[in-house]
């Protein structure tokens, strides 16, 4: 929300009259229009601008109020519009002016807001105790350090990025002087914006990546008696001593400023400084803070410089894991790559132990499951063996059935289906009829098998002409006997044997040739034989 507020305020400032107040020429004595209001200023926020001026401007940029900034409390008149003249020369009723400050060095400071001032009212008195200054608020930009004050809100004026080139305030500690030097004159007004700071020169003599300080000089400002001009000494190498302790011919040092607030800001000369020349003199008249950063631009190398703008061909060293306590250690790695060292050997050993424990547990679990499956399969096999043994026993020791003369209810004891005709073949001469639960019948004398196969576990009613002792179901080996229906001669006059438990139902109708017929298809006067489930037979004429 704070960033959004700052953005909106910045846009507001850019569109208002204050954005146009950029020149000292716009600060002039306003016209006495005959009507005004008084603004009292009671804040120490303007103490850095004592001796300068604060001014108010209408929407057209006309100066309608001007006052010298003083310590403590002071007032300024803000003039209203003279309605007796056609031009707008002051504020309209309710209009809020723009405010700005003119510093003693001629620079203009924008004011974003004057607290408690809500609009012009003729003859009114308003006192403000807080003034909001606008400017560059980011210390990574040059404008933050050169505007000469701390801004409360950002107005979008930050534009030039600064670089410290890894120099710190502690870097400004010169090595000893040598027996030769070069003098560099500084005739650059912008340097004096850092009055009270220090200029330092640097070079990495031992190539360890840490530049050594060659020399320093105080920035005295425009009031040093030389209109801000001052010099810096560059010390050359003392040829009779080791190691190298100064610049060699043609070497270019790094220049940087240490501000009063302990910021380090590097700069370069314009045109480029061509290098050290012993016992010579050179004057800088222009400098550049917007440096071109040279270095390795390939992140695959150890000396990658994320700030580099132009590759200088110095890329070297492969990043990787340089700690031999880690599994990922590489003897070829020239520098540590963040995140490359992931697993220590101890962690890998513990992890392997955990994996082995897990594998052993899984093996034990699999073995247990396999044993259970084997046991279940073995139980199934044993059950099958028992069934087979039961079948073998059944085959080897068939059940003996005693059948009495007349009706009997017997069970079919074999464990597979068999043809009824083949099964009862041995006693067919004594069988009148066999019935199943569905009232289907096997009637030998009529050569009719309505049952088909005997079903294991089913019960059957059988009527025989005499007792049969020790009947056992034979194994027919799948034999099937096909019958051709016939009608015996005796059925024409045979009395019907009745049984009190018989349930009499029509089984089929046949002609005198034993062929099954439908009554609806029979001609009148035809003789039809009716066969019933109780073994009775009737002969009728169709009317």
**Segment 440-491, tens digit of pLDDT:** 999 998 899 999 999 999 999 999 999 999 999 999 999 999 988 888 777 6
Least confident of 159-163, 286-290, 516-520: 516-520
The one-character DSSP state at 97 is P
Cα atoms in the 13 Å half-sphere on the side-chain side of 538: 13
Predicted local distance difference test score (pLDDT) of residue 234: 95
User: What sign for the dihedral angle of Cα 427, 429, 435, 440?
Assistant: positive
CB 69 within 8 A of CB 51: yes
**pLDDT category of residue 404 using cuts at 50, 70 and 90:** very high
Averaged pLDDT, 21-50: 93
Where in the chain are the domains?
A: 2-137+149-154, 169-291, 344-393, 398-483, 485-543
Neighbours of 169 (CB within 10 A): 14
217-238 pLDDT, tens digit per residue, is: 999 888 877 888 999 999 999 8
Q: Give strand pairing partners of 474.
A: none
Distance of CA 54 to CAs 46, 50, 121, 145, 360, Å? 9, 10, 20, 22, 85
**pLDDT category of residue 393 using cuts at 50, 70 and 90:** low
Averaged pLDDT, 54-77: 94
CB 517 within 8 A of CB 511: yes
Predicted local distance difference test score (pLDDT) of residue 7: 36
**pLDDT category of residue 2 using cuts at 50, 70 and 90:** very low
Say how far residue 229 (Cα) sits from the centre of its chain. Answer: 59
**Is pLDDT above 50 for 351?**
yes
What is the rounded average pLDDT for all residues in the chain? 88
**pLDDT category of residue 9 using cuts at 50, 70 and 90:** very low
149-169 pLDDT, tens digit per residue, is: 999 999 999 999 999 989 999
Averaged pLDDT, 293-311: 85
Distance of CA 340 to CAs 297, 299, 320, 350, Å? 20, 14, 6, 20
Predicted local distance difference test score (pLDDT) of residue 79: 97
Averaged pLDDT, 302-308: 84
Predicted local distance difference test score (pLDDT) of residue 497: 56
Predicted local distance difference test score (pLDDT) of residue 209: 81
* Confidence (pTM): 0.55
**Is pLDDT above 90 for 58?**
yes
Predicted local distance difference test score (pLDDT) of residue 233: 94
- 3-state SS, 487-498, equals CCHHHHCCCCCC
Bond from prior residue into 326 cis (ω within 30 degrees of 0): no
- Name the one residue in this structure whose structure tokens are 């061509």: 274
**pLDDT category of residue 394 using cuts at 50, 70 and 90:** low
Query: What pairing do the DSSP bridges indicate for beta strands 281-284 and 181-186?
Result: parallel
CB 529 within 8 A of CB 537: yes
Least confident of 64-73, 148-157, 334-343, 494-503: 494-503
**Is pLDDT above 50 for 11?**
no
Tell me the C-alpha distance between 192 and 227, whole Å: 10
Predicted local distance difference test score (pLDDT) of residue 8: 36
Say how far residue 370 (Cα) sits from the centre of its chain. Answer: 42
- Spell out the residues 6+ positions from residue 60 whose beta carbon is closer than 8 angstroms to its own: 17, 88
Greater confidence, 43 or 221?
A: 43
Q: What percent of the chain has pLDDT over 90?
A: 56
Q: Which of 250, 293, 292 lies closest to 274, judged by CA?
A: 250
Neighbours of 219 (CB within 10 A): 21
Predicted local distance difference test score (pLDDT) of residue 499: 58
Predicted local distance difference test score (pLDDT) of residue 101: 96
- 3-state SS, 199-250, equals EEEEECCCCCCCCEEEEEEECCCCCCCCCCCEEEEEEECCCCCCCCCCECCC
**Is pLDDT above 60 for 19?**
no
Greater confidence, 324 or 7?
A: 324
Tell me the C-alpha distance between 222 and 446, whole Å: 145
- Spell out the residues 6+ positions from residue 337 whose beta carbon is closer than 8 angstroms to its own: 319, 320, 321
Predicted local distance difference test score (pLDDT) of residue 500: 55
90-149 pLDDT, tens digit per residue, is: 999 999 999 999 999 899 999 999 999 999 999 999 999 999 999 999 999 999 999 989
Greater confidence, 270 or 172?
A: 172
Q: What percent of the chain has pLDDT over 70?
A: 93
**Over the range 114-123, which residues count as b (16 or more CB within 10 Å of their CB) and which as e?**
beebeebeee
Q: Which of 431, 498, 421, 430 lies closest to 452, judged by CA?
A: 421
Tell me the C-alpha distance between 481 and 493, whole Å: 29
Greater confidence, 460 or 532?
A: 460
Averaged pLDDT, 71-88: 92
Predicted local distance difference test score (pLDDT) of residue 243: 83
For the domain covering 169-291, report its CATH number: 2.60.40
Tell me the C-alpha distance between 537 and 519, whole Å: 16
Predicted local distance difference test score (pLDDT) of residue 423: 95
Greater confidence, 518 or 225?
A: 518
Tell me the C-alpha distance between 323 and 340, whole Å: 10
Greater confidence, 523 or 199?
A: 199
344: burial class by Cβ within 10 Å (0-12, 13-18, 19+)?
Answer: middle
| Residue 63 structure tokens | 């100066």
Averaged pLDDT, 328-342: 89
Q: Give strand pairing partners of 344.
A: 326
**Is pLDDT above 90 for 12?**
no
**Is pLDDT above 60 for 385?**
yes
3-state secondary structure at position 449: strand
CB 479 within 8 A of CB 422: yes
Greater confidence, 146 or 390?
A: 146
3-state secondary structure at position 531: strand
- Alpha-helical segments (H) within 318-419: 345-396
Length of the chain: 543
Q: Which of 371, 184, 136, 167 lies closest to 287, judged by CA?
A: 184
**Is pLDDT above 80 for 398?**
no
Averaged pLDDT, 323-334: 90
């Amino acid at each position: 929300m704070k960033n959004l507020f700052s953005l909106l305020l910045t846009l507001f400032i850019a569109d208002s009259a204050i954005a146009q107040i950029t020149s000292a020429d716009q600060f002039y004595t306003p016209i006495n229009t005959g009507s005004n209001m008084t603004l009292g200023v009671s804040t120490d926020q303007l103490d850095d601008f004592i001796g300068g001026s604060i001014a108010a401007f209408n929407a057209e940029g006309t100066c309608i109020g001007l006052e010298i900034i003083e310590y403590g409390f002071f007032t300024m008149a803000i003039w209203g519009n003279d309605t007796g003249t056609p031009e707008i020369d002051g504020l309209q009723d309710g209009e809020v002016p723009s405010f700005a400050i003119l510093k003693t060095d001629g620079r203009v400071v924008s004011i974003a807001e004057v607290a408690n001032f809500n609009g012009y009212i003729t003859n009114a008195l308003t006192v403000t105790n807080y003034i909001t200054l606008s400017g560059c608020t980011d210390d990574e930009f040059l404008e933050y350090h050169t505007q000469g004050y701390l801004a409360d809100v950002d107005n979008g004026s930050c534009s030039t990025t600064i670089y410290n080139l890894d120099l710190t305030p502690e870097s400004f500690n010169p090595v000893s002087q040598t027996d030769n030097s070069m003098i560099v004159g500084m005739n650059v007004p912008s340097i004096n914006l850092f009055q009270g700071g220090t200029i330092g020169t640097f070079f990495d003599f031992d190539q360890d990546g840490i530049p050594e300080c060659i020399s320093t000089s105080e920035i005295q400002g425009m009031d040093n008696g030389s209109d801000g001009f001052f010099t810096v000494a560059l010390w050359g190498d003392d040829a009779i001593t080791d190691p190298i302790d100064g610049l060699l011919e043609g070497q270019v040092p790094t220049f940087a400023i240490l501000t009063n607030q302990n910021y380090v800001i590097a700069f370069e000369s314009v045109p480029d400084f061509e290098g050290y020349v012993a016992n010579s003199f050179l004057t800088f008249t222009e400098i550049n803070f917007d440096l071109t950063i040279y270095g390795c631009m390939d992140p695959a190398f150890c000396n990658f410089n994320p700030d580099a703008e132009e590759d200088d061909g110095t890329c070297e060293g492969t990043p990787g894991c340089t700690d031999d306590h880690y599994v990922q250690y590489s003897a070829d790695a020239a520098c540590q790559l963040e995140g490359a060292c992931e697993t220590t050997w101890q962690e890998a050993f513990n992890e392997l132990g955990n994996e082995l424990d897990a594998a052993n547990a899984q093996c034990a679990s699999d073995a247990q499951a396999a044993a259970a499956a084997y046991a279940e399969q073995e139980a199934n096999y044993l059950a099958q063996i028992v069934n087979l043994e039961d079948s073998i026993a059944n085959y080897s020791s068939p059940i003996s059935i005693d059948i009495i003369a007349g009706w009997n209810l017997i069970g079919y004891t074999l464990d597979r289906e068999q043809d009824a005709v083949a099964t009862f073949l041995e006693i067919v001469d004594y069988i009148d009829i066999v019935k199943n639960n569905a009232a289907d019948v096997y009637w030998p004398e009529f050569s009719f098998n309505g049952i088909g196969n005997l079903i294991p576990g089913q019960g059957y009613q059988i009527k025989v002409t005499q007792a049969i002792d020790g009947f056992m179901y034979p194994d027919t080996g799948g034999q099937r006997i096909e019958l051709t229906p016939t009608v015996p001669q005796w059925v024409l006059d045979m009395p019907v044997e009745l049984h009190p438990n018989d349930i009499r139902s029509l089984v089929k109708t046949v002609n005198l040739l034993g062929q099954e017929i439908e009554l609806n298809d029979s001609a009148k006067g035809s003789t039809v034989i009716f066969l019933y489930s109780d073994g009775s037979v009737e002969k009728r004429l169709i009317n």
